[in-house]
Structure 1
Amino acid sequence: MYGFFEDPYRVLKLSYVLLIGGLSALVIGAVLAYGYDAYLSLPSLVMAHALTILGPTAIKLGYVMRLLSFNRLRPNPVTT
């Protein structure tokens, strides 16, 4: 499993997937939870509110992974 995170380009791709997925989960959850709340059943409404929590969590994880991969891709300065 740790070998998956050794390649910074792969981590960068995964971070973009998390950022886009988190943003879409947040928007869909907010629209469903606050816009269509009268039309949803209680389990659907709970899931919509869960999306408004899980979306920003995915965004934060994707952003941290993006920062770490950019840090690993940065050229190392030559010290004398």
Structure 2
Amino acid sequence: MSDLFGCPVHVLRLSGYLLAVGTALLIVGVTAAYGFDRALSIPQQVLAHSGVILGPTLLKVGYVMRLLAQHNLRKLNGEVCCAIA
């Protein structure tokens, strides 16, 4: 786990994935929860509304991780911090 968070490049890549998944989850959740609410059963509506909650959460976590990774990359001043294989 320390290999993943030890290198700002890896954190930057992970933050991009979190931002993409959070955006997709938010869009799908809002569309399902408010666009197709009459066609969904109660468990499906609960799942759609939880997407409306979890999507922005992933967006916020991904954004903060991106800011931290960019800050750490700026502190390294272009030095190689990790090997990518």
Question: TM-score, normalising length from structure 2?
Answer: 0.86
CA displacement, residues 17-76 of structure 1 (integer Å, 9 cap, x when unaligned): 000100000000000000000000110000000000000000000000000000000046
RMSD (CA atoms) = 1.3
Q: Percent identity?
A: 48
Runs of 4 or more consecutive aligned structure 1 residues displaced over 6 Å after TM superposition: none
Matched position secondary structure for 1:38: coil
Gap runs ≥5 in structure 1: none
Gap runs ≥5 in structure 2: 78-85
Question: TM-score, normalising length from structure 1?
Answer: 0.91
What is the aligned length? Answer: 77
| Correspondence 1:45-56 to 2 at 5 A | 45-56=45-56
> Are positions 1:20 and 2:20 aligned together?
yes
